[in-house]
Structure 1
Amino acid sequence: MKDQVHPSAAAGYKTGADTYVRGRPDYPPQVADWLTVTLELNADRTVLDLGAGTGKFTGPLVATGAQVIAVEPVPQMLEKLCEAFPEVLAASGTATDLPLPDASVDVVVCAQAFHWFASTEALTEIARVLKPGGKLGLVWNLRDAKVSWMPKLDAIVNALEGDTPRYYTGAWREAFPHQAFGPLQVQYFSHGHTGSLEDVIFNRVRSISYIAALPVAERAKVDAQLRALIAGEPALRGRDVVTVPYETVAFVAVKGR
């Protein structure tokens, strides 16, 4: 199973689970309606939180009343999830080797995760555990590129990505179309990540897998670049609390009956 986890995820999330909890934004309130209306989650349903990480999206899933099963391959991330949500059935696993029976869940949700394992093989395995007519939800929180200083932040981050899978490249879309699923349908929600500069800028960047995996000296260089960016931006300089605007994009595809 370890061989199926990208090295950036295995190394970065192993050491950066705490930073991930502090630095990653939550999801907007509109997601609650998307879960209950579009994905039809309720107390009679079972949902798989695939690539669940530290449980950032587990809370909204639990709030629907559905039975939640969380699957995550990185032990340090899974430990954080179990601490936060002891009522959730959590297990180690990957998208191509799910520890679940055939047709056992109504919904599969991948929040901030599908780009890591986007493949025909993963979709085939997801379809295996979904009931006929079940739904696959894909969710990402994205920094709003329309903000004037955001391209500068993205340039710092993207320069170090190497071969790490990322949402913005669109490579994840190559897994579709897939014979088990209908077409992807999409909705967008706007929100903001409000907090200290340490959390919403520094810890957010530090929580990125391939940056968390860098040697200490290289991570210090990234911090220096972020400090220079903040010093040059009136919207950030000298602020105790800032709001970084985000757009949440939510896709759904329905498994054939």
Structure 2
Amino acid sequence: MDEDEQLSHASSFGTAAVAYAEHRPDYARAAVRWALEAAPGPRVLDLGAGTGKLTATLAELGAEVVAVEPDPAMLAELRRSLPGVRALAGSAEAIPLPDGSVDAVVAGNAMHWFDMAVAGPEIARVLAPGGVLAGLWNLMDDRVEWVAGLARVSGSAAVGPRDTPASWRAETAAMHLPRTGGSARFGSPEQAEFPHGQRRTADSLVATIATRAGMLVMPDREREATLGRIRAFLASGPETARGEFTLPMLTGVLRVRRL
């Protein structure tokens, strides 16, 4: 993906902020706990917080959380749904917090949008010594046969390079983390995966897939054709044709510690 295409995808979510808030899944609590277990304190920055999917879980687990989000529509939805959370306009490349002010920086399905050449030193700046940086991604568990079929039918615009376990492991193994933090150094990265799931119907799963960046930037006719194929696939499967079902998922975590 070139720089212009990356920017187009990254800035597309605000057009679907309400749908994103309604349909995107939260994150496995065990994954969030693991992301934070080595943090030296409770102060957590949710960076690229979107509509607050990860923010809400952090708050429920007792973190002293502040959310930072660049898109005005996403930030407005976050503030509406989580009025008790401190939520600021800002980005990974320009974090509106003082030096050493947080014990952990986390990002839910967002770290791959960061320009780490700029964001890396900024993240290191706001992290206290020994602080943790962790990215979390929700993955479709394509080890389940019907989920693998859904991924094939959906195509790359709906199921990207970090959306299934094997591709996520490969994509994040050496990417999306700071190579330098100015004078700060980071330890060796760690990956872990945690079972998760989302209750869906065929219609609500189609609505979820429609909030993905590749779908949001797709021409209308192509998007409707893709969503039509997905609807037909879900209508044809015994697991998904009638009523509610659980979409098998994993929450993958990539974490690293500031030394």
Correspondence for 2:189: 184
Residues 14, 74 of structure 2: 8 Å contact kept: yes
Match of 1:230 among 222, 234, 242: 234
One-letter amino acid matched to 1:248: T
**Residue in 1 that maps onto 2:130:** 133
Residue 214 (structure 1) shift: 2.7
Name which of 103, 106, 121 aligns with 2:103. 106
Q: 1:246 to 1:118 in 2, by over 3 A?
A: farther
Aligned-pair identity in percent equals 36
The one-character-per-residue Cα deviations of 1:79-124 (angstroms, maximum 9, x if unpaired) are 1100111121111212111111211111101111111115233222
Q: Is 1:52 matched up with 2:78?
A: no
Q: SS at the partner of 1:57?
A: helix
Deviates more, 1:169-178 or 1:57-66: 169-178
Structure 1 residue 87 and structure 2 residue 117: aligned? no
One-letter code of the match for 1:30? A
Q: CA deviation at 1:28?
A: 2.3
Contact 2:40/2:103 (<8 A) preserved = no
The change in CA–CA distance for 1:165 and 1:99 in structure 2 (over 3 A counts) is farther
Of the candidates 200, 203, 208, which is equivalent to residue 207 of structure 2? 203
1:174 aligns with 2:175: yes
Match of 1:218 among 209, 213, 222: 222
Residue identity opposite 1:21 in structure 2: A
- What is the identity, as a one-letter code, of the residue corresponding to 2:67? A
Amino acid at match of 1:153: L
Aligned residue type for 1:154: A
**Cα RMSD between the aligned structures?**
2.6
Q: Contact 1:49–1:70 (CA<8 Å) still a contact in 2?
A: yes
TM score, norm. by length of structure 1: 0.85
Deviations 1:25-81 (A, max 9, x none): 22223235425634465xxx3211001000001111112333211111111111110
Quick one: structure 1 residues 39 and 198, their matched pair in 2 at CA, closer, same or farther if it must change by over 3 Å?
Answer: farther
Shift of 1:229: 1.0
**Alignment partner of 1:149: what SS?**
helix
Misfit runs of 4+, over 4 Å: 164-167, 169-172
For the residue of structure 2 that corresponds to 1:203, the secondary structure is helix
Report the TM-score when normalising by structure 2. Answer: 0.85
Unaligned runs of 5+ in 1: none
In structure 2, the partner of 1:247 is 250
Greater Cα shift, 164-173 or 51-60: 164-173
Shift of 1:147: 1.3
Which amino acid in the other structure matches residue 249 of structure 2?
Y
How many angstroms does 1:146 deviate by?
A: 0.6
Counterpart-to-counterpart distance in 2, 1:166 and 1:232? 27
- The answer to whether structure 1 residue 31 and structure 2 residue 38 are counterparts is no
How many equivalent pairs are there? 247
